[in-house]
Structures are given as structure tokens and as C-alpha cells.
């Protein structure tokens, strides 16, 4: 055996604490307070989603909803750990995690101020694949069911986490080899064009008028959306809109009857990316996540390099929310996103912009949901055409 082959053979993931947990419920955290209108406004501001039914009280009161309602992406903001908690179960020493994708089902309830969501979590399954990014890499899936305070089913999420050995990813420098370390340079003219695309998209659906099912044809293109250029400030704003990381906002919950249901155990983060749970009882910054913890690389390029990512970068759950909001905006007040499945191919880096495009691929007048649906292909790309997200969705439209 050559030295190179021997070195490769030694790179393995220790899954001894993962395997016994497959298929089992898991605990996590629960928000203390119900959702408030200010939480909804903070969330859509962070997602750069200026749909007036989510922030403009006068507009919302005059709408069919009679007041502010949350966007369909809101359940992930009312969850713990960006919704990835049940896909990050078991300790893998010296590892890190990035979000690999998510699938959502929406059951018709629109979250409003005063609703309090409760979560049921389960570690679904995993597989290990050899990747160029980090060698042996675990793709794990976990399910979260969201219900209101009276038991109404709101949504289900199936999150996919990507767990890998941070040292191996840092050594391989895949993004650096792909020339992704360089910040783009934006001219005044290019930024004006970005702003025009953003403005045109805002105006395309601002009144909430839904396209009727009969009007929509296969091949129709949805208006293009753009976000960015992304900055440390925008990434920080996004992170702070996830309510779980506000000091004292949550408490740990267990699964009745289970002795070890993985609540807040150490997943095996590398040095400098973990929490200090005991210390945080006195100084809550010690489990803040952004200042100290696993999200540090999102806003600190040097920390990002330690986990194989060359500069500050955005959040997978944010990209998922962008997609849901994009589809819901097109569907209007009388439509609803029923299902999305988004695969994350790469992050949105600092300095980049993210374009979102959609195309109608199928129509179904009599669907399993009991409502007319159109299928939409969704793609996110950066300014160079690099694909960040590939996905599909089913959207309800009025007849």
C-alpha cells in the first residue's frame, strides 16, 4: 500500500454515537413566547422580503387576512438550530456541519401573531459518501413537525445536514481551488442593474393578485428575484432573525419516556466552534452561536477557512426561506406553497449576489392535496452563473 493510499484509508468518520439513534425521536429547544408581529417583521426584513402583508399594518388590515400574517417560511424562524436539529444527532469528533438541503410540506395554516409553534423531531436516516470537499462525508436527514398551540398542523420539514471532518476539508481547499476566494468587484452600472431586478420583482407581486390556474402554462417563467450583494451585515441580520439565538429565548425539551433523546449534547465540533453551556448560564454570549459557536465561520473568513470555506458565507436555511418566499409571492394572497424540495449545491458568499429563477413544468387540476397545483423548477445562481440551489415545488393556485 502506498503512503498516499494509507493516508486516505485513515480518514474515517466515527459514527459509533450516530448509528444507534437512527429512526428515533430527539429533543431540542422550544421558544418560551408565542410569535409576535415584531418577530414577523424582523424575519421578512432579514430575508429581504418586502411583501406588505407581513410588515405593513394598514395594508394587511385592508387585505383578506385582516391583519399581519407570517410568511410561509416563518416556521424555520420559530424553530431551533435553523431547523437542522434532528439532522445533527450523535457525536462525530472533530467535525463540522453545513446545510445540504431541505424539503417542506405546508398544510394550510397561516401563522399569525399570537401563535406558538411546538416541534416534534426525529432523526430519519443517513448515508456516507466520499466527496471532493471533505472525503468521507455524512448526509443525514431529520424531520420536524410544526403544530400550533391548539394542535393544528402547520408544516413538516425534512432537513439534510452535511457532516464532515473539518481538518480534511481545510486541507483539500476545494473552494479555493475553484477560485471562490476572490471577492467580486461591482461597478456602479452593475449595481444599478441589480437594484432594477430587485425593484421589478417587488412590484411584480406587491398587490398579492394570484395568477389563476387556467392562465398558467407549462414553460411560463416567474419574475426573477435577486438578493445582495451579500455582506457581513446582511449575514448577521439573517442570523439574528432566527429567534432561538436571542438570549434566554428558548428552553430545552425532552421526549417523554426516553432516557437519551439527544437534546443539547456536543456534536463533536472542532476547537473554537463549540458552546459553553454551563458558562452561558452566567454569560449568554458563550452559547450565542455567532460570536462563539458553530456559526462563526459565516461572518469570519479566517474561521471559515478552518472548516474548508474560504470567506464569509450565508445560511442554508436562509436559502430555503428565499425559495419559499419567492414562490409564495408569485402565488399571491389566494395561492399557497404546498411542497418544496431544495438541494443546496454551494453557499452564497460575501460580496456575491443570488438570483432566483422559476419555471412552470407541470399542471395538475385535481391533485392529492385536493386543490389545483402547478409544479415549478427553482434555481438559484450567483453573478457568475454558479448554481447554488436546484429545487422543485408544488404551488396551489385558485381556479
**What is the architecture, at CATH level 2, of domain 3-179+232-339?**
Roll (3.10)
User: What mean pLDDT comes out for the span 267-296?
Assistant: 86
Tens of pLDDT, residue by residue over 197-253, are: 999 999 999 999 999 999 999 999 999 999 999 999 999 999 999 999 899 999 999
**What is the DSSP code (8-state) at residue 56?**
-
d(CA 389, CA 342): 6
* Residue percentage of the chain with pLDDT more than 90: 80
d(CA 361, CA 392): 9
User: What mean pLDDT comes out for the span 178-199?
Assistant: 90
Enumerate the domain spans of the chain.
3-179+232-339
pLDDT(2) > 50: no
pLDDT(9) > 70: no
Tens of pLDDT, residue by residue over 325-379, are: 999 999 999 999 999 999 999 899 999 999 999 999 999 999 999 999 999 999 9
Question: What pairs with residue 146 in β-bridges?
Answer: 119, 155
The band of 6, judged by pLDDT with boundaries at 50, 70 and 90, is: very low
Contact 45, 237 (CB under 8 A): yes
The three three-digit cell numbers of residue 334, written as one number: 389566494
CA 332 from centre of chain: 22
Q: What is the pLDDT of residue 176?
A: 66
d(CA 263, CA 247): 18
Kindly compute the dihedral angle of the four CA atoms of residues 55, 57, 61, 64, in this order, to the nearest 10 degrees. -10
Residue ranges in 174-315 assigned as alpha helix (H): 174-177, 188-205, 232-241, 277-280, 301-306
* Residue percentage of the chain with pLDDT more than 70: 96
> Is the pTM value of this prediction over 0.95?
no
The band of 295, judged by pLDDT with boundaries at 50, 70 and 90, is: confident
The three three-digit cell numbers of residue 185, written as one number: 468587484
Contact 230, 352 (CB under 8 A): yes
The band of 83, judged by pLDDT with boundaries at 50, 70 and 90, is: very high
Amino acid at each position: 500500500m502506498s503512503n498516499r493510499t494509507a493516508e486516505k484509508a485513515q480518514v474515517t468518520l466515527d459514527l459509533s454515537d450516530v448509528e444507534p439513534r437512527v429512526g428515533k425521536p430527539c429533543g431540542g429547544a422550544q421558544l418560551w413566547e408565542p410569535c409576535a408581529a415584531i418577530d414577523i417583521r424582523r424575519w421578512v426584513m432579514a430575508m429581504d422580503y418586502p411583501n406588505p402583508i407581513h410588515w405593513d399594518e394598514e395594508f394587511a388590515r385592508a387585505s383578506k387576512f385582516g391583519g399581519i400574517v407570517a410568511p410561509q417560511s416563518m416556521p424555520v424562524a420559530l424553530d431551533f438550530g435553523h431547523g437542522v436539529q434532528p439532522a445533527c444527532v450523535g457525536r462525530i469528533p472533530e467535525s463540522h456541519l453545513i446545510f445540504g438541503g431541505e424539503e417542506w410540506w405546508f398544510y394550510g395554516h397561516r401563522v399569525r401573531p399570537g401563535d406558538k409553534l411546538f416541534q416534534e423531531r426525529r432523526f430519519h436516516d443517513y448515508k456516507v459518501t466520499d466527496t471532493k470537499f471533505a472525503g468521507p462525508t455524512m448526509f443525514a436527514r431529520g424531520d420536524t413537525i410544526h403544530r400550533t398551540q391548539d394542535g393544528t398542523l402547520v408544516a413538516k420539514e425534512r432537513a439534510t445536514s452535511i457532516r464532515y471532518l473539518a481538518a480534511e476539508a481545510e486541507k483539500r481547499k476545494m473552494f479555493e481551488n475553484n477560485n471562490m476566494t476572490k471577492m467580486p468587484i461591482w461597478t456602479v452600472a452593475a449595481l444599478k442593474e441589480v437594484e432594477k431586478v430587485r425593484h421589478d420583482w417587488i412590484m411584480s407581486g406587491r398587490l398579492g393578485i394570484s395568477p389563476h390556474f387556467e392562465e398558467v402554462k407549462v414553460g411560463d417563467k416567474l419574475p426573477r428575484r435577486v438578493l445582495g450583494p451579500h455582506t457581513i451585515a446582511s449575514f448577521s441580520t439573517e442570523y439574528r432573525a432566527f429567534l432561538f439565538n436571542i438570549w434566554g429565548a428558548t428552553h430545552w425539551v425532552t421526549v417523554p419516556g426516553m432516557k437519551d433523546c439527544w437534546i443539547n449534547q456536543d456534536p463533536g465540533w472542532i476547537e473554537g466552534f463549540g458552546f459553553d453551556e454551563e458558562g452561558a448560564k452566567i454569560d449568554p454570549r458563550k452559547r450565542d452561536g455567532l460570536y462563539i459557536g458553530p456559526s462563526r465561520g459565516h461572518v469570519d473568513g479566517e474561521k471559515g477557512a478552518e472548516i474548508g470555506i474560504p470567506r464569509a458565507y450565508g445560511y442554508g436555511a436562509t436559502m430555503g426561506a428565499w425559495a419559499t418566499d419567492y414562490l409564495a409571492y408569485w402565488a399571491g394572497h389566494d395561492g399557497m406553497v404546498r411542497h418544496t424540495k431544495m438541494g443546496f449545491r454551494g453557499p452564497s458568499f460575501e460580496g456575491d449576489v443570488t438570483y432566483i429563477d422559476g419555471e412552470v413544468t407541470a399542471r395538475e387540476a385535481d391533485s392529492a392535496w385536493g386543490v389545483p397545483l402547478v409544479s415549478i423548477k427553482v434555481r438559484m445562481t450567483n453573478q457568475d452563473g454558479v448554481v447554488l440551489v436546484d429545487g422543485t415545488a408544488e404551488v396551489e393556485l385558485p381556479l
